[in-house]
Structures are given as C-alpha cells and as structure tokens.
C-alpha cells in the first residue's frame, strides 16, 4: 500500500518472519526503515530523509 504524509509518500509492507513493518520512501526506494508498528517505522524513515 502507498500512503501519503504531508512531507512524503511511502509504501508499507509487513515482514511476517521478523514481525516488523517495513516502510519504503516512494521517491527513493533505497531509503528503508523498520519498526514494530507502522508509526515507529515511519518515524525512523523521517529521520533518514
């Protein structure tokens, strides 16, 4: 799924083996972050942008 934040768009997947959400920057798919919740993963992604 693709989501739109005020600052950027991102894509969310769930890694069921690790039980982590993985968030990708839609503009630059090389920017990736993980978290136990979608919100935590998005916060980590924001730090890398």
Alpha-carbon distance of 47 to 12, in angstroms, equals 16
Q: What is the pLDDT of residues 19-28, one digit of tens each?
A: 999 999 998 9
In the block, residue with structure tokens 């969310």:
12
| Number of other residues whose CB lies within 10 A of the CB of residue 16 | 7
Quickly count helices (H) and strands (E) in the chain.
1, 4
Q: What is the pLDDT of residues 1-49, one digit of tens each?
A: 666 666 778 999 999 999 999 999 998 989 999 999 999 999 999 998 8
User: Which DSSP letter does residue 42 get?
Assistant: H
- Here the tokens at position 31 are 């920017």
């Amino acid at each position: 799924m693709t989501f739109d934040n005020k600052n950027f768009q991102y894509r969310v997947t769930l890694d069921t083996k690790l039980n982590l959400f993985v968030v990708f920057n839609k503009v630059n798919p090389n920017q990736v972050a993980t978290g136990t919740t979608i919100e935590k993963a998005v916060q980590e992604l924001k730090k890398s942008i």
